[in-house]
Amino acid sequence: MTRVRVLPDAEAVARYAADMLAGLIDDARRDGRELHVALAGGGTPRRAYELLAAVEGSWKHVQLWLGDERCVPEDDPQSNARMVRESLLPGARAEPPRLHTVPAPEVPEDAAWLYGLQVREHVPDGVFDVVLLGMGPDGHTCSLFPGHPGLDVAQALVAPVRESPKPPPERVTLTLPVVRRARFTLLLATGEEKRAALARALAGDRSIPLALVGDGLDEVACDLAASPAAG
C-alpha cells in the first residue's frame, strides 16, 4: 500500500526527499553496492537536489538517470539535464555522481532507443533502485500523459513522446513497467493545483497516469495544499 506523508509546505517536502535520498545513498555505500536513481524534473525536485548536494558526501557508487527529458539541447532552460547539473552537481561536496543524459534529443525515437540501450547496459535487469516522481495537475508523471499512446508501451524501457499536451511537444520517458519495477518509488506533490489529481490517483482512477503505477508507488510526500485530506 502507498504511504502518504503530509508535510507543512514545499520546502519541507523537498527536505524530506533530500533526507530520504541521502539515507538510501548511505545504505548502498555501506553495503558496497551501486545505486541507480532516476530523477524527476520540476521545482520541488530541483530544491530537493540542492539540499541533497549540501548533505551528501561520497557519490562514487551513485549513477543518476532522468525519468524523462524534453527533446531540446542540453543547455536549453527546459532541459532536465541542465536542471540537475545546475541544482545538484555544483554543490556536490566530493566527486560528483555520474549523470546519464539523453543522446540525440532532437529526434525522440532515436533518443529513446539510445537511452534505452544505456539503461539496459548499466542498470542490472533494468530495475532502478530509486525512482523519484513528480506529478502535473492532470496526473501525468514522467512524460506519461493521460490518454497518450506512451501509456501502452509494455516492453521498451524508454519510449518516445510526440504531441505532448504540455510543451515542449517532443520528449522521451521511462515507461510504466520500468517505474513499477523500481525497488523504491517516491512521488513529490506540492501545490493546491495537484490536489484533485492526487486524490483521484490514490483512489485508483485509471484515467490518471499516476494511478497506473499502482502498487509500484511506495510513498507520496505532499504538502498540506496538495493533500487529498485538505479537500
**HEC secondary structure over 157-195:** CEEEECCCCCCCCCEEEECHHHHHHCCEEEEEECCHHHH
Give the integer Cα–Cα distance in Å for 25 and 82: 22
Secondary structure in 3-state letters for 23-92: HHHHHHHHHCCCEEEEECCCHHHHHHHHHHHHHCCCCCCEEEEECEEECCCCCCCCCHHHHHHHHCCCCC
pLDDT given at position 177:
97
d(CA 109, CA 103): 11
Cα Dmax for the chain: 45
Cβ(100)–Cβ(122) under 8 Å? yes
Helices (H) and strands (E) in the chain, counts: 6, 10
Q: What is the pLDDT of residue 69?
A: 97
End-to-end, the C-alpha distance of the chain in Å comes to 21
The set of cell numbers assigned to 161 is 513522446
Give the torsion sign (CA, 156, 221, 183, 104).
positive
- pLDDT number for residue 231: 57
CATH of the domain at 7: 3.40.50.1360
Q: Which residues pair with 173 in a beta bridge?
A: 68, 159
Q: What is the mean pLDDT of each run of 10 residues along the chain (231 residues)?
A: 96 97 94 97 95 83 96 94 92 80 90 97 97 97 95 96 94 98 98 97 96 96 92 57
Domain span at 82? 3-230
Give the Cα separation of 210 and 187 in Å (integer).
9
Task: Please give the tally of structural domains in the chain.
Answer: 1
